[in-house]
Amino acid sequence: MLPSKLARVRFLPRTNLRTDYQHSVAISLLRGLAALQVAAAHVRAQFYPGLSTIADPSAGYQLLAFVTGFAHQAVVIFFLLSGWLVGGSLMNKLEQPHAMLAYCIDRISRLWIVLVPAFAVSLLIGLFVGELGSWRAGGPIPQAYAPLTFIGNMFGLQDLAVPRYGGNFALWSLTYETWYYAMFPLAVLMFARPGAFAKAASAVALAVIAWHLNAAILLYFTLWLMGAGFSRIHIHAGRPLQFGCGALFVLVAVWFRLNGSNNILTEESYLQDLLYGLLFLVLLCSLQTRVAPGDVLMLRLGRIGNFFAEFSFSLYVIHVPLIFLLRHVNQRQFGITQLDPASLSDFGVYLSLVVVIVLLAWLFHLPFEAQTYRLRRRLKGWLLPPLAAQNIA
């Protein structure tokens, strides 16, 4: 793929998940930036009119719409990084005892420690803004807030069997992610475990799951798998080639932002995202070098990235209910139903809304997402034999 004089490709026996490498700094930064991008895009869409509906939009608003228009690409980045981190971590631990049970604990704790309180917050916000008015008056609870919808969203069944809980339209991507968490270990067991019965059982289970999923979810599973596969590749490249890969990746992202499919992930957007994802993964593989102790810029970027990455999942899950809340407050208290694209002061309101949402998401993560590793250790202490729990935590 790359000329040998420019780069050397080496396959790694283990996925490198150490945090003192350049690719880990990039991963942390991108996790945080992707969540910020999605939140900023949704705030703009909910408070400003659509760009296509404005006859003569100002240059400033066109720039804002462009900069906050990469939510589609951000979700693709989420999937690629999930494959790299989650898939790579599982492959590293396959030879450890009870690796699959530990993997299940890791995945369930990762999702549910955020989803359960986030859905509770959504319910409270729904009550506050009047979405459950008919239920409070003695009628049936709206389907978007029904207990069955709550349970379905906990297991990744939104858009497959139940609606998205609380009208949280960002939850569509968690359907993809949840089933990738389930499908990947089954795919691994088909090749990594001896015994015809185990391989056959894994294949049947994988086929049953695939049968009940739609084409887009299955197609984008290949991107998730690419993330896991590329985590075992190290491309030794010089700075010029790294900058060239980075520039090409940015140019392709901008091209697809302007000319491609930018809604939710569908069959129509798959090929563009496949190309975009390949370029991104090649770039990430070229960054698998240790951060120099005196590289102040990388060390600072690492600290910034770690800060935002720590609550990126909380921000992704909770930002839509917070938008509903802030929109209701603005309408009731200030009479603001829509921001003016030509007003500089309204742009200040928009920035304030984004900052408030990010701040509230950070506060939300402290008692929940920030306690993920503590919860995992306790669950593994209860459910795994002592030695296995110690080795696999």
What is the tens place of the pLDDT at every residue in 286-343? 999 999 888 899 989 999 999 999 999 999 999 999 999 999 999 888 878 899 999 9
- Which letter, b or e, does each residue of 42-62 get, where b requires 16 or more Cβ atoms within 10 Å of its Cβ? bbbbbbbeebeeeeebeeebe
Cα–Cα dist 246/80, whole Å: 16
Distances (CA, A) of 301 to 239, 246, 307, 370: 18, 17, 10, 20
Question: According to the model, what pLDDT value does residue 198 have?
Answer: 81
Question: According to the model, what pLDDT value does residue 95 have?
Answer: 87
Q: How confident is the model at residue 207 (pLDDT cuts 50, 70, 90)?
A: very high
Cα–Cα dist 145/123, whole Å: 7
Nearest Cα to Cα of residue 214 among 176, 260, 169, 173: 176
Dmax (CA) for the chain in angstroms is 74
- Which letter, b or e, does each residue of 230-250 get, where b requires 16 or more Cβ atoms within 10 Å of its Cβ? bbbbbbebeeebbeebbeebe
Question: According to the model, what pLDDT value does residue 55 have?
Answer: 86
Nearest Cα to Cα of residue 185 among 327, 89, 116, 271: 89
Token pair recorded at residue 224: 């998730």
- Helix, strand, coil: what percent of the chain each, to 5? 75, 5, 25
- Which letter, b or e, does each residue of 73-83 get, where b requires 16 or more Cβ atoms within 10 Å of its Cβ? bbbbbbbbbbb
Flag the least confident range among 104-113, 289-298, 310-319, 358-367.
289-298
Beta carbons of 188 and 91 less than 8 angstroms apart: yes
Residue 194 has pLDDT above 80, yes or no: no
- Per residue in 149-164, pLDDT (tens digit) is 999 999 999 999 999 9
Residue 1 has pLDDT above 60, yes or no: no
Helix (H, G, I), strand (E, B) or coil at 158: strand
Question: According to the model, what pLDDT value does residue 230 have?
Answer: 97
Cα–Cα dist 192/196, whole Å: 11
| Residue 304 amino acid letter | I
Location of structure tokens 């459910």: 383
Average pLDDT (230-237) is 93
3-class SS letters over 100-114? HHHHHHHHHHHHHHH
Question: According to the model, what pLDDT value does residue 5 have?
Answer: 57
Q: How confident is the model at residue 183 (pLDDT cuts 50, 70, 90)?
A: very high
Backbone angles phi, psi at 7, to 5 degrees: -155, 155
Cα–Cα dist 28/31, whole Å: 5
- Report the chain's mean pLDDT, rounded to a whole number: 92
Average pLDDT (1-21) is 81
Beta carbons of 150 and 169 less than 8 angstroms apart: no
Backbone angles phi, psi at 193, to 5 degrees: -115, 135
Residue 82 has pLDDT above 80, yes or no: yes
Residues 6+ apart with CB under 8 A from 1: 9, 282
Residue 2 has pLDDT above 80, yes or no: no
Written as one string, the DSSP assignment of 194-216 is: --HHHHHHHHHHHHHHHHTS-HH
CA dihedral 228, 233, 239, 242 (to 10 degrees): -40
**7 alpha-carbon distance from chain centroid:** 30
Beta carbons of 119 and 150 less than 8 angstroms apart: yes
Q: What is the pTM for the complete model shown?
A: 0.93
